[in-house]
């Protein structure tokens, strides 16, 4: 029943937000100061198409959320931004993704530089089996920094930025695996911001955490917005409405609607969006 509705609405409604051949920019939802521009991205896993004609811009120093039911392509789109999909042999990306003015799909791009610029926090926190200090300093060490004073500074700054410093500053040499779930995730955030990226991608960062830890991380996102561009994928719609400035609703690999969070949740233009955010399906 719901699926038939989809077919109807996508044909009847004005597709001013979706695609118009030839002049993608005018059809995209305009955001202030875009740092990531996605132009006509299609992604295939072998024969199966996972992303269809994605056009969107991500605004700088704001939080953008991707919401949608399972399997709609949110994480896939997120992973395009730091080209982690390259690790999947059968993945093939068409289209243009421009971050900070550079097309990241271009063969001359240095992937390690891209990934330093576009950090990622994963759904299941994945601290390295090393000490807390070494985890946060890892990125800096990779970049070639080996002076202890500099590393100490980086570690302290990042842990403070991730609101973890007070809890662990006296046990930096302990194994990171001894932290609680929420602390581990904040450690991963600290690790990611230690390399000072422009964009921070977060793939359902709180789905494995309890409400208190989730609250702490949501507060953290609000602070991080000032210095980083956040793109967060989430299943939790309340979280999306609390945390993000802009929200994109995706379904079956397409962006159904992309607008300010207020609009998506209070005044959605598409019936599908309305059904989803009010919990009628998904």
Q: Which is nearer to other proteins, 127 or 268 (CB)?
A: 127
Minimum CB separation of residue 260 from other proteins in Å reads 29
Q: Which is nearer to other proteins, 2 or 177 (CB)?
A: 177
Minimum CB separation of residue 124 from other proteins in Å reads 6
Q: Which is nearer to other proteins, 132 or 237 (CB)?
A: 132
Tell me the Cα Rg of the chain.
19
Minimum CB separation of residue 205 from other proteins in Å reads 13
Distance CA 131, CA 174 (A): 5
Specify whether the CB–CB gap between 207 and 235 falls below 8 A: yes
Q: Which is nearer to other proteins, 200 or 221 (CB)?
A: 200
Q: Which is nearer to other proteins, 139 or 182 (CB)?
A: 139
Minimum CB separation of residue 225 from other proteins in Å reads 20
Buried b / exposed e over 164-198, threshold 16 CB at 10 Å, is bbeebeeebeeebeebeebbbbbbbbbbbbbbbbb
Q: Which is nearer to other proteins, 7 or 148 (CB)?
A: 148
Angle between the 181-193 and 132-142 helix axes, to the nearest 10 degrees?
A: 20
Q: Which is nearer to other proteins, 62 or 191 (CB)?
A: 191
Beta carbons within 8 Å of 256's beta carbon, 6+ residues apart = 10, 68, 249, 250, 270, 272, 273
Minimum CB separation of residue 87 from other proteins in Å reads 7
Distance CA 115, CA 192 (A): 10
Beta carbons within 8 Å of 78's beta carbon, 6+ residues apart = 66, 120, 201, 203, 231, 233
CA dihedral 276, 256, 99, 29 (to 10 degrees): -110
Minimum CB separation of residue 117 from other proteins in Å reads 8
Strands 199-203 and 118-121: parallel
Q: Which residues bind other proteins (CB under 8 A)?
A: 82, 84, 87, 112-116, 119-120, 122, 124, 126-131, 138-139, 141-143, 175, 177, 188, 191-192, 195
Minimum CB separation of residue 116 from other proteins in Å reads 4
Q: Which is nearer to other proteins, 29 or 122 (CB)?
A: 122
Strand ranges for the chain from DSSP E: 34-45, 48-59, 63-67, 91-99, 102-103, 118-121, 199-203, 229-233, 246-251, 254-260
Minimum CB separation of residue 101 from other proteins in Å reads 19
């Amino acid at each position: 029943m719901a699926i038939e509705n989809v077919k109807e609405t996508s044909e009847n409604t004005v597709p001013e937000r979706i695609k118009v051949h030839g002049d993608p920019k005018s059809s995209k939802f305009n955001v202030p100061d875009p740092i990531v521009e996605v132009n006509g991205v299609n992604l295939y896993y072998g024969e199966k198409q996972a992303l269809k004609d994605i056009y969107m811009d991500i605004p700088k120093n704001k939080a953008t959320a991707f919401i949608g039911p399972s399997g709609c392509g949110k994480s896939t789109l997120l992973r395009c931004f730091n080209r982690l999909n390259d690790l999947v042999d059968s993945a093939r990306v068409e289209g243009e993704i421009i971050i900070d003015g550079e097309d990241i799909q271009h063969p001359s791009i240095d992937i390690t530089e891209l990934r330093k610029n576009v950090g990622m926090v994963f759904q299941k926190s994945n601290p390295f089996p090393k000490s807390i200090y070494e985890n946060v300093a890892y990125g800096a060490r990779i970049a070639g920094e080996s002076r202890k004073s500099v590393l100490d500074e980086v570690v302290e700054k990042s842990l403070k930025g991730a609101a973890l410093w007070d809890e662990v500053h006296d046990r930096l040499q302990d194994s990171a695996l001894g932290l609680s779930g929420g602390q581990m995730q904040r450690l991963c955030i600290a690790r990611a911001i230690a390399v000072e990226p422009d964009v921070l991608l977060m793939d359902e960062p709180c789905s494995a955490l309890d409400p208190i830890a989730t609250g702490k991380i949501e507060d953290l996102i609000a602070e991080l917005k000032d210095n980083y561009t956040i793109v967060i994928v989430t299943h939790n719609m309340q979280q999306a409405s609390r945390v993000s400035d802009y929200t994109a609703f995706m379904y079956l690999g397409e962006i159904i609607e992309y607008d300010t969070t207020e609009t998506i949740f209070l005044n959605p233009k598409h019936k599908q969006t309305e059904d989803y955010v009010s919990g009628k399906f998904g």
